A and B are shown apart, each in its own frame.
Chain A
């Protein structure tokens, strides 16, 4: 494998104005903001985005109860339609707060895929590739950390909040690019506080060095560098434990009113934490909201999920904008597939990869754009659907906004060249 590994780093990748603002006006944020803001200069307009937040709707949200309602039609169910801040775009009445910020959000209503199984479709959406038995493809966050340089970040640059069973992973790029997994950002991260006093911990580290010297003696000289990464991960872990940046993982100090804006649900807190992490220099944060798999009682289940998503998504967009991070952060909100137009005998909707919705916002995305539509009768499937886009196209679009050459070919471990994305950017939603 001849993958060129570039270290993630570079103060250039932080939003300087954001950091200035954060340092001055939001005192609970990490000191890194102030530190980096000192070196800040004005944002270059048109500069590529630097970060991605993936709001992952595990289970497959219904397009009909979120972004593509068809009230009054046989397929529409109980959902009504409301107007939004984007001219001509109407969404479900279950998403009123999101409707208010729709002029910052682009909608893809004609997303299609060939994967109707949760695991395979999740893989497809998170990596841009369908599952391939010979190769484990990297997720967006892993590619970003591999491709984009960073410095000054002492915490993992790829984070998954409420990771569920299929979190974003490094694939063939290696598990050092896996997302760092965490749960509710209330309280300390587990495993971060050291269990003994500083002095005793330092002594333990010295004890460990004695053992490491024995182990490396007479073994491969590149064992640590090319194989175990044992000491380097210990060092990084200790750096993280000692870093003030770990405050970004905790939202307890955020103002209560701000937490309320996000809904103060686990998912809402995860979204608020995502903003803090992005602000600290993390490249990609995935926040999962599970429970969309509504094979029974569709409306009740989808309403409950939407009630949790709506305040969090809209507050996330607003807060990113307030902190001048929206231009540099791409936000994706979507799940692995949609739900069937037909309501089944149990009042549920089943899996439907033939036409569903994905929302995108932020860096390089044209707010208020809306592409594609599903058939009101619910009968049309790929490729007849209007404005149809594939999963790989969404990935190519995001890489384009990040300034990543998505045509770039990786030499994979099986010796087969593979493009970062085989999709095509969706011109209609690019700013």
Chain B
């Protein structure tokens, strides 16, 4: 018996050691350099050619408006933008060191390759898309599986699935919400208190906004009285494509006998509404089901609103601000030359359609543009016009997920990703949710311009998370390790700036903070804690720039 007990204790001890050891001892040396390769020269040149076409239009706008143009931002600032936009956090010190060990010239391309191989990219961008597709609510109990849907979206992004194929599945797929996660786009609209069927009205609104950047739902109740020519019937004819969708014991399927009835404004009786699309009717083809017909029409290569919608959203995700605002409202027709479309939108659409609706290529082109690479600071006076036309990079609010992601990463030195220890991931997940609850989730309307709020400032100044992430703690906080391990105050200040703001201090900042760290009247660990607190509470930390 004693032998068995001893054996049991031994196993427990090994398990505990493994867990603790995993937290204390690095499990792996930095591998990031090996997991990604930049594009080769010809591929990079091809991307750059498209980016140049985009920039030609920007250049024309800047010239016509007589705007001075900000210089390119430094490389680390651009890297920070990419990380915040595509992974929701700032680069780790570990990543910055590896990046800077690479030869100059292809670092942005390499960084993107590394990002696309990083699960954080799939998860973060999937969450952005999920909000556009189904909103942020939990949805109908059991028949809507939000988490499963999110994971599926993330998987599609990691595989760089063609965006037209992905969209077709969302609109027209059948099956159980667990086995065929795309159907959650439909099940999210099921009204539990009413018909228990998917809601054609909600689905029509989602499809037009999320996939066509058209606010057709504005004419849901009456004809457009704001000068447009859309009719109430346009909306309900589109909704009628979803009339066949029904929820059954085998999940979502199509009942081809179903009809859609609606009582139009000023009518006394309901009308049976046949399906029809509101524009580009010639692209509508026959299909097995009404939803398939609609899906094929939405994603038709000649149906350019489809490409424009995702380009505008991906631009907003990558940079923090859409090309055209609001993100889900783009004129159906027009051109750059006549002013309906912002610079870049049409050249990007041409390339996106011609190259198989490739999202990663689209992001590479965006990052290669001069517009993306502008600095948000200049030696002339930057005005709203500079930011609106990307003559200077616009300063935009970080979403709450980016703020918490950046706090956690800034405190870690090592990269926090899917390879991190499971306990670390669990702790971060819990902190992440608590923080969002208190900081305030931006919801679906996450690209709207909003300033900071008092509760957010209180949370950052006095909240538990910032306290935990700056206080004396050798295992989890960069502040303590910087205080103990930095060879001198200058090195500590530099690393503190790199981990939080992804840049080195300027001379005035270095002079000031090095002097503060040299003040012998203070506890050395508290001095670094104060430094990190100030960095985390700065405007620069909370805003993309």
Contacts and interface: CB of A to CB of B under 8 A. Distances in A.
Contacts of B383: 220
Interface string B419-442: 000000000000000000010100
B259 interface: no
A203 interface: yes
B513 A207 contact: yes
A200 B530 contact: yes
A203 B449 CA distance: 31
A133 B387 contact: no
Max chain A C-beta neighbours (<10 A), residue from B379, B395, B530, B534: B534
Interface stretch (A171-179, A258-266, A376-384): A171-179
Interface string A97-122: 00000000000000000001101000
A156 B458 CA distance: 12
Nearest to B397: A228
Nearest to A222: B384
B209 interface: yes
B449 A227 contact: yes
A123 to B, nearest CB: 12
A230 B537 CA distance: 9
Contacts of A345: none
B467 A175 contact: no
A228 B376 CA distance: 14
Contacts of A178: 440, 453
Interface in A193-249: 193-195, 200, 203-204, 207-208, 210-224, 226-231, 233-234, 236-238, 240-241
Contact of B506 (A119, A181, A214, A226): A214
B445 interface: yes
Contact of B538 (A215, A227, A241): A215
A174 B453 CA distance: 10
Contacts of A207: 512-513, 516, 530-531, 533-534
A263 B537 CA distance: 41
Given A218-B382, A219-B377, A211 B191 contact: no
Contacts of B461: 191, 194, 234, 237-238
B474 interface: no
Contact of B137 (A119, A221, A230, A237): A119
B457 interface: yes
A136 interface: yes
Contacts of A190: 438, 463-464
A383 B377 CA distance: 60
B462 A220 contact: no
Interface in A66-118: 116-117
A29 to B, nearest CB: 22
B459 interface: yes
Given A200-B530, A217-B377, A233 B453 contact: yes
A350 interface: yes
B1 interface: no
Contact of B534 (A133, A204, A219, A220): A204
Nearest to B540: A215
Interface string A111-141: 0000011010000000000000110100000
Given A210-B512, A212-B538, A228-B395, A191 B193 contact: no
A351 interface: yes
A149 interface: no
Contact of A236 (B209, B379, B454, B513): B454
Contacts of A223: 395
A192 interface: yes
A195 B377 contact: no
A233 B454 contact: yes
B377 A234 contact: no
Contact of B537 (A116, A175, A234): A234
Contact of B462 (A136, A193, A213): A193
B395 to A, nearest CB: 6
Given A174-B450, A193-B462, A237-B457, A133 B215 contact: yes
A228 B451 contact: yes
Given A133-B205, A212-B539, A230-B539, A237 B454 contact: yes
Interface residues of B, number: 60
A219 B382 contact: yes
A136 B445 contact: yes
B539 A195 contact: no
A220 B70 CA distance: 12
Contacts of A174: 450-451
A117 B534 CA distance: 44
A238 B462 CA distance: 10
Contact of B376 (A219, A221, A229, A351): A219
A194 B217 CA distance: 47
Given A210-B513, A230-B542, A204 B377 contact: no
A220 B453 contact: no
Which of under 10, 10 to 19, 20 to 34, or 35 or more describes the interface residues of A? 35 or more
B137 to A, nearest CB: 7
Contacts of B508: 210, 213-214
Nearest to B383: A220
A220 B395 contact: yes
Interface string B177-200: 000000000000001011000000
Contact of A180 (B137, B376, B454, B545): B454
Contacts of B454: 156, 180, 233, 236-237, 240
A8 B109 CA distance: 51
Contact of A133 (B217, B449, B513): B217
A408 interface: no
A305 to B, nearest CB: 20
A211 B209 contact: no
A134 B395 contact: no
Max chain A C-beta neighbours (<10 A), residue from B137, B193, B526: B193
Given A180-B454, A207-B513, A220-B387, A215 B209 contact: no
Contacts of A5: none
A218 B540 contact: no
B452 interface: yes
Contacts of A203: 530
B160 interface: no
A283 to B, nearest CB: 15
A416 interface: yes
Interface string A344-370: 000000110000000000000000000
B32 to A, nearest CB: 29
B41 interface: no
Interface in B367-413: 376-379, 381-384, 386-387, 395, 397
B436 to A, nearest CB: 12
Contacts of B3: none
Contacts of A227: 395, 449, 451
A219 B452 CA distance: 18
Contact of A229 (B218, B395, B451, B533): B451
Contacts of B467: 195
Contacts of B462: 191-195, 241
Contacts of B464: 190
A231 B452 CA distance: 9
A204 B534 CA distance: 6
B356 interface: no
27 contacts: A116-B193, A117-B193, A134-B218, A175-B451, A178-B453, A180-B455, A190-B464, A191-B462, A192-B458, A203-B530, A204-B534, A207-B533, A210-B508, A211-B538, A211-B539, A214-B508, A214-B509, A216-B539, A218-B382, A219-B545, A220-B382, A220-B387, A220-B395, A227-B449, A230-B457, A233-B457, A240-B458
Lowest 6 A-B CB distances belong to which pairs?
A: A229-B451, A218-B377, A207-B534, A191-B458, A237-B457, A211-B538
Interface of A: 116-117, 119, 133-134, 136, 156, 174-176, 178, 180-181, 190-195, 200, 203-204, 207-208, 210-224, 226-231, 233-234, 236-238, 240-241, 350-351, 416
Given A133-B205, A220-B387, 10 more contacts: A175-B451, A192-B462, A207-B533, A214-B509, A215-B538, A218-B378, A227-B449, A228-B452, A237-B458, A241-B458
